Structure 1
Amino acid sequence: MRTVDRSERIRTYNYPENRISDHRTGYKSYNLDAVLDGDLGPVVQSAVEADEAARMADVGQGA
């Protein structure tokens, strides 16, 4: 069984603080209970915005 180093984590769920953090996009919110109930809109939106920013950066570099 492999352990996951902190730098390899995609998301952290902190139940005592009711916090969710997406390490790829920089998203952090204190609404973990809502996310677990299915309110994924803000999490998905952060992924969409991160993808768009990466694509725009690639275009700016001529890729």
Structure 2
Amino acid sequence: MVKAMIGFYIMVILYSVFGTAYSVATGHFELVTLNLFVGLIGAGLLALVNMERKKLKSTN
């Protein structure tokens, strides 16, 4: 379950990076902000999952 969540959040971050690059290349600068926020949320959730994973490993 944790590995699936980590993989999903990595995919969200990659989507954000490539979406931002595409938005800049096509001139849709209003979408750049949206893609950056999606990436920041994905990175924050990935950090939370990693902290929980480390906490679970240390208790076992």
User: Relative to total residues, which structure has the larger strand share, 1 or 2?
Assistant: 1
The structure where helix makes up a greater share of residues is 2
Category of TM-score, reference length = shorter chain: 0.3 to 0.5
Compute the TM-score of the two structures, normalised by the length of structure 2. Answer: 0.48
Question: Which has the bigger relative contact order, CA under 8 A and spacing at least 6?
Answer: 2
Q: TM-score, normalised by structure 1?
A: 0.46
